[in-house]
Amino acid sequence: MKRFVFRTAIGPLATFCVATFFSAAIPAQDILPQTSPPSWAYGYLVPPAPGVSAPACADARPISCAYPSTLVKVPEGGPLLELPGAAKTFHLVDVAADYGPADWYPNDHPVMPDIVAHGREKDGLRACGLCHFPNGKGKMENGGVAGLSSGYILKQLADFKNGVRHSSDPRKANTNEMVAIAKSLTDAEAKAAADYFASLPWTLWIKVIESATTPKVRGTTNGLFLPLDGGATEPLGQRIIEVPENPERTDKYRDPHSGFLAYVPVGSLAKGHALVTTGADPGVDVKDTANKKTIACGACHGADLKGKGDVPGIAGRSPSYTMRQLWDLQQGTRNGPAAKMMKGVVAKLSLDDMIAITAYVTSREP
């Protein structure tokens, strides 16, 4: 087993160079049809059964789109939970409170806007910090928004609001909730949240492990994978399995200091490096554009993959999120203005190509 202590979410905006290259470089007959969605990227171990989907939004309140909470209610007088170096203690019932979730390390970040810290309870709009954490990093089932530009975040909120950003997996309830949230936010709230998260740095959060095996995991209602007790493993195959480095601290305590491990297939980092830096498989002559599957990611995302302007950084972010975005872009469930330009970039990528690209960009220093 090889362990790489590096560290990812994609949400690519492309530039004119991308659209120009691919309009000429990819004949329509060369676009690869994809038939098997990577359920593991969406937090599931099996594909969706026919007709299975997340709850329909019952009304205009975003919380009506969410799966019912499985949190075990405890008396207010229950034990107080502690985390190393945390400034506060919290009762379990308060850790994941919809309209004021625990902020363990308030000195880590500026004062949160009210929409981030508390949401808007009367309208069922939960706090942004509940899913994205006060430090903007979130978990594998959410998007890491720290360090993205305010302009990019606002464009994604607009895509959700305008009905051009959805999930390819119908079970992904939090995507439906984001659509409802985007429709519920005032312009001032959206701007305050975007400016806040843009002000936060994206730092080391994920460790990539190139391996033939992975811990056996179980899924949770919200799309988080947790390793089974006992340390059992199984073949990884062509998947990326992302798990918390400390499952209890992530799942129970929602610790914003406790990161993730990403198990990626052996050889995926080398293949991903070639695809990301040259647009072709390892050893392929890139002078002949017919051999290229895509363009170098750095053309738009920056040589260090940390983003340029409103083009988001993709280095060191959640591989589950990155993989979801590559898939959704190819399938057309992300179909906003920038996503349309990315359509050509991902058109020729196979599932294995996406896995390799995701593994590599996850391993890059953010």
β-bridge partners, 90: 81
Q: Give CA–CA dist 177/67, Å, rounded.
A: 10
Q: How many helices (H) and strands (E) does the chain have?
A: 13, 10
The pLDDT score that the predictor gives to residue 71 is 61
Q: Which domains does the chain have, with CATH numbers?
A: 2-46+204-363 (1.10.760.10), 62-198 (1.10.760.10)
Strands 225-227 and 206-210 turn out to be unpaired
- Per-residue pLDDT, 13: 36
CA 139 to mean position of chain CA atoms: 8
Burial of 85 (0-12, 13-18, 19+ CB in 10 A): exposed
HEC assignment per residue over 99-153: CCCCCCCHHHCCCCCHHHHCCEHHHCECCHHHHHCCCCCCCCCCCCCCCCCHHHH
Tell which phi-psi region holds residue 43, choosing left (phi > 0), alpha (psi between -120 and 50) or beta.
Answer: left
Q: How many angstroms separate the CA atoms of 77 and 94, rounded?
A: 12
From residue 159, give the alpha-carbon distance in Å to each of 19, 42, 152, 335.
Answer: 19, 20, 11, 8
* Full pLDDT tens readout for the chain, 366 residues: 444 433 333 333 333 344 333 333 333 334 444 567 899 999 999 999 999 999 989 999 999 999 987 666 666 667 899 999 998 999 998 999 999 999 999 999 999 999 999 999 999 999 999 999 999 999 999 999 999 999 999 999 999 999 999 999 999 999 999 999 999 999 999 999 999 999 999 999 999 999 999 999 999 988 999 999 999 999 999 999 999 999 999 999 999 999 999 999 999 999 999 999 999 999 998 887 888 999 999 999 999 999 999 999 999 999 999 999 999 999 999 999 989 889 999 999 999 999 999 999 999 999
3-state class (DSSP) for residue 226: strand
Please give the backbone phi and psi of residue 242, each rounded to the nearest 5 degrees, phi first: -110, 130
Tokens of 150: 């305010």
Tell me, what's the pLDDT at 22? Answer: 37
- Using a 10 angstrom Cβ sphere, with 0-12 exposed, 13-18 middle and 19 or more buried, the burial of residue 240 is buried
